[in-house]
Structure 1
């Protein structure tokens, strides 16, 4: 009986540890996303180039393209992601992939015009060699502010 109680206690500790690890990973992904928004606002392509996977895909209202073009657009100011007001965030971890959803209001300058749009943003991160890389960033424009 004593061995069963000790075994149950150890099992509960292991389950608790597994949930704590997942939460730590989720928090790391959320922080990476927040950092990404700041780096985009600052046009910090040096940090972004470390985060973006070389084969990443970026989907915008005006089309889609790869990492090299996204970095070029950010650096030149073709799209200036001035501020992302994040309203909701969720993360789902599947093996070495993290899917983050952000509901945001994005203040941006596009082609010299300042615009604000409500978006649901999907970010896909892939863990390679112990490092999380952004593999996809996709903007879905919501019909109304606040997503209602």
Structure 2
């Protein structure tokens, strides 16, 4: 399931690309947060959260929604974040959030090293490095 929050449409645009490539159902966090709803999420489900970065963190209302959602416990989760420059402490904060909620944070075990593995190894080319990698062949060592 792809759970997304979008203020300006950038995260929604990325969500549409991810959902198209992964064929996962969408869950619009903006409406859920406004209505105070929490989704029914299977324990076996892998979740992809797509959010913008506000003040070098995920939006506080998204973080609060995750904290308050009793259906979140033990799932594998990815965080895909849209931003203008950098994510600041967002990676550290989402890892701590996952730890607090007993969620299995999927991603690199340390800070991003810009190794490009996430882009080159994505089996469906759903991850881009801005416009730089768009439409270009993904490199894989031939050996």
| The structure with more strand, counted as a fraction of residues | 1
Q: Which is greater in Rg? A: 1
**TM-score normalised according to structure 1 size:** 0.23
**TM-score normalised according to structure 2 size:** 0.24
| The structure with more helix, counted as a fraction of residues | 1
